[in-house]
Amino acid sequence: MNIGLKSLAAISLILLLAAMAQGYSLWYDSLKARAVVKTGSTGGSITSYKALGVPDPLDPLCRASEGSLSLELDNTRAIVVFENVSQGWISWVGLVVSNDGSLPVNILAPNVTVGENFTYNAFLYGPFQAPGTSGVWGGVDPCNMYNNTLSYGDPFPSVGSVAQVELDPSQKAVIWILVVYEGVASLANTTITVELDKSG
């Protein structure tokens, strides 16, 4: 009789284990996993700017006037307006671009839109932690920059411009755009649009 109870207990245990395996199998088949993957973000926005118009860059007095500049599209587009444009006029539009994201970003030459009878060249420098001490941002002379461009093809030949700059988080690049008016008639104003070109 004792053996019968043991056999019955063993059979019950086997049946219980089989039922648990069946229940686990049904639960596992209906299990849905949900995972959330967080990635870093790429930055790249204009954090400082200069807009300098020069009526005659070859004048030894080098008189420059400031243009008005506004930022759009999360600080990735600059709209610059200069007044009193006449024959021989040039301008420099300078932008500091900062990587405020958490992943590296490549900064390329910007997309620039100018009016009829205007030409432009873009120059890219970096990466920097402090552009003001880089030699390409603080205390610049727009006429000297123009003369260097005529002589050496670069406003800052001792630093040298590059085709693109890879910015790690918190690094900065400097972009200078030379715009030259090649027309004859005087203009009340002109608008220049600069949009960043970047890739993560």
State whether residue 128 is helix, strand or coil.
strand
Reported as a single tens digit per residue, the pLDDT across 159-190 is 999 999 999 999 999 999 999 999 999 999 99
Give the span between the Cα atoms of 5 and 7, in whole angstroms. 5
The most distant pair of C-alpha atoms in the chain lies apart, rounded to whole Å, by: 121
The answer to whether residue 107 sits within a structural domain is yes
Cβ proximity of 125 and 186 under 8 Å: no
Cβ proximity of 66 and 53 under 8 Å: yes
> The tokens of 106 are what?
């490549």
Residue 135 Rama label (left phi>0; alpha psi -120 to 50; beta): left
Q: Are residues 51 and 31 in the same domain?
A: no
Cβ proximity of 104 and 90 under 8 Å: no
Q: Residue 26 is part of which domain span?
A: 1-35
The answer to whether residue 58 sits within a structural domain is yes
Reported as a single tens digit per residue, the pLDDT across 117-129 is 999 999 999 999 9
Reported as a single tens digit per residue, the pLDDT across 137-153 is 999 999 999 999 999 99
Cβ proximity of 191 and 114 under 8 Å: no
pLDDT at residue 13, as a whole number: 65
> The tokens of 91 are what?
């301008």
Reported as a single tens digit per residue, the pLDDT across 76-94 is 999 999 999 999 999 999 9
**Domain count along the chain:** 2
Reported as a single tens digit per residue, the pLDDT across 29-47 is 655 555 444 455 667 999 9
Query: What CATH number did the domain enclosing 99 receive?
Result: 2.60.120
The answer to whether residue 77 sits within a structural domain is yes
Q: Are residues 82 and 177 in the same domain?
A: yes
Q: What is the pTM of this model?
A: 0.79
pLDDT at residue 192, as a whole number: 97
Give the span between the Cα atoms of 151 and 168, in whole angstroms. 33
pLDDT at residue 2, as a whole number: 59
pLDDT at residue 21, as a whole number: 63
Q: Are residues 25 and 122 in the same domain?
A: no
The answer to whether residue 59 sits within a structural domain is yes
Strand partners, 174: 96, 125
The answer to whether residue 55 sits within a structural domain is yes
The answer to whether residue 40 sits within a structural domain is no
Cβ proximity of 62 and 142 under 8 Å: yes
Mean pLDDT of 66-78: 95
